[in-house]
Amino acid sequence: MTILSVEGLTVALPQGADRPLAVDQASLELRQGEILCIVGESGSGKSALSGAIMGAPAPGLKVVAGSVRLGDQELTGLSEREWCRIRGRRIAMIFQEPMAALNPAIPVAAQIMEVFELHARMSHAERHERALALIRAMQLPDPERIAASYPHQLSGGQCQRVIIAMALAMSPEVLIADEPTTALDVTTQAQVLKLIRELRTAHGHAILFITHDFGVVAEIADRIAVMRHGRIVEMGAARRVLTQPEHPYTRELLAAVPSLVPPASPEPVAAADSPSHPVLTVTGLQKKYGRVRAVNEISFDLERGTTLSIVGESGCGKSSLARLIVRLAEPTAGRVEVNGKCFLSLRGRELRASCRAVQMIFQDPFGSLNPLRRVGAVIARAAVLAGADRRTARDRATELIDRVGLPREALDRRPAAFSGGQKQRIGIARALAMNPDVLIADESLSALDASSQAQILELLRKLQKELGLAILLITHDLRVAAQISQRIAVMQGGRIVEIGSAEQVINSPGHPYTRELLESAPGRGLV
């Protein structure tokens, strides 16, 4: 039975945007008990579509044509007052950032009870009972304790379950979930996806699930709609779209999903020069914050022309480890050697002279470039710091911008003119300007769409081959690690629980946590 039908929905962008329409004539039907996934990359208009369906388009956006029907009621053109009777009661929404969607000053049960206060007449005791029942239904451990907790006392996954409970409080006919698992760790993501699937089966909710990740789609979708530039380019049953995609863009997106199968054993590219001695050796590295050991007895070494991936979930200490190696923080104990020389004892001028060897690219493409400085100046400055004079620095910047695949005009622009993937390329060019031996990439791919992710991975692979770089890739995503690494180290609670060749870690994991990570990786069905 069709519950929600959208016909020819068109949403206009404000004037001066890069295209006139955020959503162009989108039509879809959502049936009872099904999960319809809307997949698209950032800027594809998928969030604009969901906002328009909820009658709350983002500021600046305007619904200009089309209809949205819930059951037999037309939703477009409803007044704000009429919407209040529908939102939360008949259509509910789950957001990407669970922490931001909860009020930090109110215990979570009270926040769920608020929904009942708004939409139903119940006694306080009844509301509390219902809230507890919902928390229980979300398979949260120790429901009484969770109910009395404030959001900051819960993990991200627990918060997201509370949000789902709130959304389900009034048993809405339609649930819209906008990237609900994107901010979560893989293992948590797997659990939340499972929960959403079970809810669909048990209660017959109709769920509109918006995501950029085809891996997640493969886990959860009954039907799939692929969006690009505001249009739905392909729609069909999940199995059909995943196995026999018709539209070239769908094929492109599917191809960009990193698979867990390492590409036919990536060869270490160095070999030619010295019989490999490590460029980076880390021994017994440790960092304590108070009594917490954020980084605990980490040891590994990294050879020229090879990639080691450090994989772990948020809070495992992988980023702290990177910061220790580049001297952004001082370790409590341990040694770091670069090219056989002790790196940690260097101070002031000596450090400045040798820091060239280890460079880093960052996670957030927006924060990693000074918004006021032109790209060319940034890269040239790095070259100057590496010892070039002004003239050659300028040439070097041009050479590097070619190398990372950006047009030369980029040199005269400021960071705001670039997309996330392009900013990451600029970050790479800046790091390369220092002629590093070791490149540390700290979650540098996680903020990117799958297709730009694939392109940056390809670029890193190419640069490694040309320059013999040693790459330390820090990531939460085993799939990404599998694509580029010769070796993989899995971190948990500040320790490396398993380290080995990529093939060995992925095909025959030794540690239970590695196995859990592997099982949680979304889209294992996709090959």
Contact mark string toward other proteins, 373..402, x via CB under 8 A:
x-------xx--xx----------------
Among 11, 235, 369, 473, binds other proteins (CB under 8 A): 369
CA-CA-CA-CA torsion for 297, 302, 308, 310, nearest 10 degrees? 20
Is residue 475 a contact point for other proteins (CB under 8 A)? Answer: no
Distance set, CA 114 to CA 103, 109, 503 (Å): 11, 9, 51
| Closest distance of CB 354 from other proteins, Å | 8
CA-CA-CA-CA torsion for 521, 522, 523, 527, nearest 10 degrees? -20
Question: And the tokens for 54?
Answer: 């909820």
Is residue 416 a contact point for other proteins (CB under 8 A)? Answer: yes
Those residues with Cβ within 8 angstroms of residue 451's Cβ, 6 or more apart along the chain or in another chain: 41, 252, 253, 256
**Looking at beta carbons only, is 42 or 155 nearer to other proteins?**
42
**Looking at beta carbons only, is 260 or 447 nearer to other proteins?**
447
Question: And the tokens for 519?
Answer: 């099982």
Rounded CA separation 186/219 (Å): 12
Among 218, 434, 496, 505, binds other proteins (CB under 8 A): 434
| Closest distance of CB 353 from other proteins, Å | 7
Is residue 174 a contact point for other proteins (CB under 8 A)? Answer: no
H helices of 204-347, where?
214-220, 238-243, 248-256, 318-325
**Looking at beta carbons only, is 434 or 473 nearer to other proteins?**
434
| Closest distance of CB 327 from other proteins, Å | 8
Contact 489, 312 (CB under 8 A): no
Is residue 358 a contact point for other proteins (CB under 8 A)? Answer: yes
In 3D space, the residue among 463, 496, 470 whose CA is nearest the CA of residue 485 turns out to be 470
Among 352, 408, 462, 515, binds other proteins (CB under 8 A): 352
Q: How many CB atoms lie within 10 A of CB 358?
A: 25
Range 470-506 burial, b when 16+ CB lie within 10 A, else e? bbbbbbbbbbbbbbbbbbbbbbbebbbbbbbebbebb
Among 362, 400, 406, 499, binds other proteins (CB under 8 A): 362
Is residue 353 a contact point for other proteins (CB under 8 A)? Answer: yes
Is residue 427 a contact point for other proteins (CB under 8 A)? Answer: yes
Question: And the tokens for 315?
Answer: 């809070």
Q: How many CB atoms lie within 10 A of CB 218?
A: 21
| Closest distance of CB 81 from other proteins, Å | 33
Question: Among 155-163, 333-341, 361-369, 459-467, which window interacts with other proteins (CB under 8 A)?
Answer: 361-369
Q: What are phi and psi of 97, to 5 degrees?
A: -100, 95
Rounded CA separation 34/388 (Å): 61
| Closest distance of CB 338 from other proteins, Å | 13
Q: Could you give the 3-state DSSP secondary structure of residue 388?
A: coil
| Closest distance of CB 491 from other proteins, Å | 21
Q: Which of residues 228-267 bind other proteins (CB under 8 A)?
A: none
Q: Could you give the 3-state DSSP secondary structure of residue 265?
A: coil
Is residue 356 a contact point for other proteins (CB under 8 A)? Answer: yes
The conformational region for residue 209 under phi > 0 = left, psi -120 to 50 = alpha, else beta, is beta
Is residue 345 a contact point for other proteins (CB under 8 A)? Answer: no
Is residue 371 a contact point for other proteins (CB under 8 A)? Answer: yes
Task: Give the angle 70-71-75 at the CA atoms, nearest 5°.
Answer: 30
Rounded CA separation 257/451 (Å): 8
Among 119, 239, 293, 327, binds other proteins (CB under 8 A): 327
**Looking at beta carbons only, is 279 or 505 nearer to other proteins?**
279
Contact mark string toward other proteins, 297..326, x via CB under 8 A:
-----------------------------x
Number of residues that bind other proteins (CB under 8 A): 30
Binding residues for other proteins, per CB under 8 A? 326-328, 351-353, 355-356, 358-360, 362-364, 367-373, 381-382, 385-386, 416, 427, 430-431, 434
